[in-house]
Amino acid sequence: MRLHPTSCAFSLVYLALGLVWLWFAHPPGALSLELVWLAGVAVAGMLVPGVANQVSLARAYLAAPAAAYALAGDLGPLAVTMAVAGLTDLVDGTIARRLEEPSTFGGGLDPVIDGIFLGATAVGLAVWGAFPLWLACVVIVRYLLPGVAGAVLLLAHRPVEIHHTVTGQISTSLILVLFGAIVLLRALNQDPGNFVTGAEVVIPIVTLATFVHLGLTLRRPAREPGRA
C-alpha cells in the first residue's frame, strides 16, 4: 500500500468540502464524530488508486451527512445528499471504463462503499421512524455478508474474481430509489406508505436474489490472469 498523488489530491478536496459543510451547514449530530469520520475516510482514501474509485469514495464521505440528517429527520438535505450519492454511483463505472481502469479492487470497493452509505442511511431512517428497523438490518446484511464471504475466501487463499453481478447492481439501484422516494415524499409531507410497503417486499427479495446469484458466481473457478 502506498500513497497516490491523485488520490491525495482527491482526499484533500473531499476533506475541505466536508469541513466547509460542517462549518456552514451546522449539521445535526455529534460534530466530533462527523469530523473523525471525514478525516478517517480522507486518510484511507489516500491509499486508494484510480479516479473512478475516488468518485466512488464520495459516497463514503456522504455517509456522515446522510446519517446525521436521517437521524434528525432533516429530510430535505437528506434527499439532496442521496441524489448526489446516486449520481456518483451512476458515473463511477463510466469513468472506469472511459479511463480503462476497471479492476478487481474497484469491483470489490464499490459495493463496500454502497453498503456504508446505504447502511448509514437505513439505520438513521429506521431510528427516526421512517420504516421498520428490521428493514435496515436487511440492508446491512445485504452488503455485509458478501464482504465477509469474500474476505474469508481470500484468507483461505482461494482465488476470487470480484466483479459486479446484475442482481447486485439491480438491488443497489432499487434500494437507493425506494429510500429516495420515501425520503422525498416525507420531505414534501406526502404519505410514503406505498413505497414503504414496496421496500418491505422488494428489498428482502432482491437481497436473497443477490445472495443466490453471488453464491453461484463464486462456485465458478476464477479465470486465469490475462484471459478475457
The Cα–Cα gap between 212 and 162 comes to: 16
Core vs surface per residue 6-39: b (16+ CB within 10 A) or e = ebeebbeebbeebeebbeeeebbbeeeebeebbe
The Cα–Cα gap between 139 and 142 comes to: 5
* Confidence (pLDDT) at 227: 37
* Confidence (pLDDT) at 226: 39
Secondary structure letter of residue 210 according to DSSP: H
* Confidence (pLDDT) at 183: 95
In terms of C-beta density within 10 A (0-12 exposed, 13-18 middle, 19 or more buried), how is residue 227 classed?
exposed
pLDDT tens readout for residues 128-151: 999 999 999 999 999 988 777 666
* Confidence (pLDDT) at 97: 77
Q: 52-219 maps to which CATH number?
A: 1.20.120.1760
- On whether the pTM is more than 0.75, the answer is yes
In terms of C-beta density within 10 A (0-12 exposed, 13-18 middle, 19 or more buried), how is residue 51 classed?
middle
Does residue 94 surpass a pLDDT of 80?
yes
Q: Which of 97, 109, 225, 99 is nearest to 162 (CA)?
A: 109
Secondary structure letter of residue 72 according to DSSP: H
Does residue 152 surpass a pLDDT of 70?
no
